[in-house]
Chain A
Amino acid sequence: MNIFMMLAPMSVLLGLIGVGAFWWTVSHGQYEDPAGDAARILLDDDEHPSRD
């Protein structure tokens, strides 16, 4: 039972971290241009000056 009392909060915490990470990606506009992001990795110029 003791191990459960440790694991339960830990699993909830991990879940919360996941929600937080997801929220971070949404608020930083990571889903706004899926087609562009797919294309951008093909571009050669490494130093891309534009950054939002």
Chain B
Amino acid sequence: MALAYDLSPAPDLDAFVTRKAGARPRLELLVKGARCAACLGKIERETQALPGVSSARLNLTTGKLSVEFASTADAGAVISTLERLGYPASPYDPGLAAEAADREGRRLILCLAVAAFGAMNTMMFSVPLWAGLFGQELGPATRTVMQWWCALVATPCVLFAGRPFFESAWRSVRVRRANMDVPISIGVLLTLAISFSETLLHGRDTYFDAAVSLLFLLLIGRWMDHQLKARARSAAADLLALQAPVAIVLDGRGLEHRRPIADVRVDDVLIVRPGDRIPVDGRVIAGFAELDASLLTGETRPISMRQGDVCRAGALNLSGALQLRAIARSEDSAVAAIARLVEAGAQSKSKYVQLSEKAAQIYVPVVHSAAALTFLGGWALGLGVRESLLRAVAVLIITCPCALGLAVPAVQVSASSRLFRRGVLVKSGAALERLAEVDHVVFDKTGVLTEGRPQLVDAEAGIVAQAAPLARASSHPLAKAIAEAAGPGPLAEDVVEHPGLGVEGVIGGRRARLGRAGFLGVANAQARETELWFGFEGDIKVRLAFSDRLREDAAKAVADLKAMGLTVEVLSGDAPRAVAMAADAAGIVQRRAGLTPMEKADAIAALQSEGHKVLMVGDGLNDTAALARAHAAMAPGSALDASQNAADLVFSGARLGAVVEAIDIARQARRRALENFGFAAAYNLVAAPAAMLGLVNPFLAALAMSGSSLAVTLNALRLRRAA
């Protein structure tokens, strides 16, 4: 029966070691809990001391440890060393996507550096030109020399640093659409061309400095946007890696191999130990165990599994070791059907139009018609082609879309970094905007309102202390809850674990049992809640009840949400009684129990068709479809990877208050962004007519442009500071 326990675990993690031709084998690990210099030193020293390891370097910012092996790679030894030091580690695949994102980031940084260099140096040569504008002595010959120096520096810088904009504009023009990069590219290139012709014609007004500084400011916005996306992407990838889906496969000779779940084939024999999740759908061929399928269905009561039963992927094995024969591959497991629902939801979400896009749709035609009108108007009024064109360019420059290109990313970066410090991970800027619009919050019960793990209720301290020595010897989650409640203490002797039934051992010379009612000979037919029985041989048997405790601040969080004007509801797959208890305790009136994953998603869809904007907070696989369907979605860090992927935000820690904070900050961010748009509109209302009337010279253009950018950025940064 205890088939898996006699086999020594032979971890076969070599699948995660990357071997490239001409390079040493490498292993990338995600290390949890490393925070300080001491951790860093300890981890690197101990890992390097292992035989076969040639170097180990920990990135403290991302928590990634990169290990290089001299010849033979022993990934298992590295991981067990880290675990011994107290830092759980899991292998992850660095992947191609991350590398590509990194290249894009480096390119932006290089463009930014070139633009900064160009802006500074062109500005330096522009200072005499500006002085000339204000009546200082500047002969035409000197002016032309200065202008040529500006051209010499600015032209290559604009052509190089502007490439991200030019390329994106070209891509969108080819499919006959206009994004923000089209007016930016046209504006910059036109400015450059006009400034050149003015230099050749010995004119007074050139805008080389404006062209480069415009690119510089916009590149800052572009880079911030990229950083936000890259961080969210890498965090999402890390979440996937953390689950490090490994299955234990038994080969023909009875040896265990750890394999990535994707490599499990139908008819493979798998071993699932207590505390592990079922990796793929499978039929039990040996063993007996209770499964917790709450992440799949929301139901907290364990399900018994014996030979011939089919276990679904994602369920947690609570008690005995199981031998399964895989009946589906990972992609084909019951999980995959839900994944398709998630995809459908994600597609409907991608249609969401962000604030900055909406603004751009208004901005682009208005500015371009203004510039065109200026040119045509000036021409009609007899200003001549050259002067009319100069004024049109001045309009394009002075109405630079910095408020759009810089202000929104700045707001989003400061909002998400503030949330990040509070343990909330934001996956995209659009997610923040959607969260700000939410008016109805739907909670899942198990694992969201509650802590998602059983805890001892109403137990007498004396009985707990009596049962504790047995409980400490068991790995069953319920026994662990008893051991936790009792604190440290002695272990029972001669402990025998009967998988699926309970544990038996000797405490203080007396034989005792802890386990299911039947195991102790108690005729208890209805086991309504999660329970264990304990008793000494021949003595009375005592019942220990467990329940899933409400998160500590659940009631306060719900009250706060209501105070913010949101309506709150519980949708759960669990039994009505359990849902009612949790909802009452949290102060939520609207509740529905016993829902299937489909019904949950439909309930959300119904709410949204009534005009509500719904925030779904859920952790289980049964919630993923609802998470994907909802206007905005949050998942706790303890959720399944599928749920975390479907969610827009992931919060870590035991506090539900994170949901309140996230909504609050998202609303503030929206307010800041709208303020910035308002500011930009007001500024343009003054500046654009001034440029049309020819009141703007290159100096004023430079001043107005940087001034307005600075103002919107500082306004965005207020978000970071606020308590």
Using CB atoms and an 8 Å cutoff, list the residues of chain B in contact with chain A. Answer: 36-37, 40-41, 44-45, 48, 55-62, 106, 109-110, 113-114, 117, 120-121, 124-125, 142, 149, 153
Contacts and interface: CB of A to CB of B under 8 A. Distances in A.
B40 A26 contact: no
Contact of B37 (A1, A23, A32, A42): A42
Nearest to B41: A43
Interface string A37-52: 0011011110001111
7 nearest A-B residue pairs (beta carbon): A36-B60, A39-B37, A50-B55, A42-B37, A35-B60, A33-B59, A35-B61
A49 B48 contact: yes
A40 B37 contact: yes
B36 A39 contact: yes
Contacts of B106: 26-27
B45 A45 contact: yes
A12 to B, nearest CB: 6
Contacts of A27: 106
Contact of B114 (A1, A11, A19): A19
Interface of A: 1, 8, 11-12, 15-16, 18-19, 22-23, 26-27, 32-36, 39-40, 42-45, 49-52
B146 to A, nearest CB: 9
Nearest to A16: B117
Contacts of A15: 117, 120-121
Given A12-B153, A27-B106, A49-B55, A33 B60 contact: yes
B114 A45 contact: no
A44 to B, nearest CB: 8
Contact of B61 (A36, A43, A45, A49): A36
Contact of A50 (B44, B60, B120, B121): B44
Contacts of B149: 8
Given A26-B113, A32-B61, A43-B41, 13 more contacts: A16-B117, A18-B117, A19-B114, A34-B61, A35-B60, A36-B40, A39-B36, A39-B37, A39-B40, A40-B37, A44-B41, A50-B55, A50-B56
B62 to A, nearest CB: 7
A10 B130 CA distance: 22
A33 B61 contact: yes
Nearest to B116: A19
Contacts of B40: 36, 39-40, 43
Contacts of A18: 117
Contacts of A50: 44, 48, 55-57
A6 B101 CA distance: 42
B59 to A, nearest CB: 4
5 contacts: A11-B124, A23-B113, A32-B61, A39-B37, A43-B40
